[in-house]
Amino acid sequence: MADRNDRADRRVVRSGRRRDDAPRLDQPQEFRRRFVPTPSFSPETFGRWSEAFARGMGTASFIVGMTVFVGAWLVWNTFAPEAHQFDPRATNYTLLTLILSLQASYAAPLILLAQNRLADRDRVALEQDRARDERNLADTEFLTREVAALRIALRDIATRDFVRSELRQLLDEMEERGLSGSVDDEPRR
């Protein structure tokens, strides 16, 4: 009985459908052929393109260029003869309004996409910085413990300066007692 249930569960997992044929929310849907082919874009390529677009729109040259374009549009359609106006003032510059609205409707999502990608990169950089800082802190703590251990160990070991000072004191004491003599005066055994 349990073996049959296991096989049925495996079939459900393979097919992506439950026994009652309701679609499962935890698995992707099966491929469906569409009547109209949809173009596929690489998310990375599209993201890079949106970042370049957002960078371009954020420059002073874009703002100056857009100002010149709108100014020329308004001057032409206000002061040119009516026969040559393509967006007359009488219609409140409807075509210009549509063009600017279309630009804004595309610019806003592309700028948001670029900001999301930047936020993702910043998050990754922050995680890497945090990991590097943790490693540096661990290394610093290790070196601090090692230096402290060396200091404790060196307290018990006579240093060169300590030995010299002790020998100098002994020589001074020997000279005071009159036992001073050079090493060459002593008989060798």
Averaged pLDDT, groups of 10, the chain, 189 residues long = 52 50 72 74 84 87 93 91 87 90 90 90 95 95 92 78 89 82 52
Q: Counting beta carbons within 10 angstroms of the beta carbon of residue 50, is it exposed (0 to 12), middle (13 to 18) or buried (19 or more)? A: buried
Q: What is the largest CA-CA distance in the chain?
A: 131
The confidence score (pLDDT) of residue 49 equals 87
Can you give the pTM of this predicted structure? 0.48
Chain position carrying tokens 């935890």: 26
Asked whether 73 and 87 are in contact (CB, 8 A), the reply is yes
State the Cα–Cα distance between residues 141 and 151, nearest whole angstrom.
15
The confidence score (pLDDT) of residue 7 equals 53
The confidence score (pLDDT) of residue 178 equals 81
The confidence score (pLDDT) of residue 6 equals 53
Count CB-CB contacts under 10 A for residue 77. Answer: 20
In degrees and rounded to multiples of 5, residue 23 shows phi and psi of -65, 145
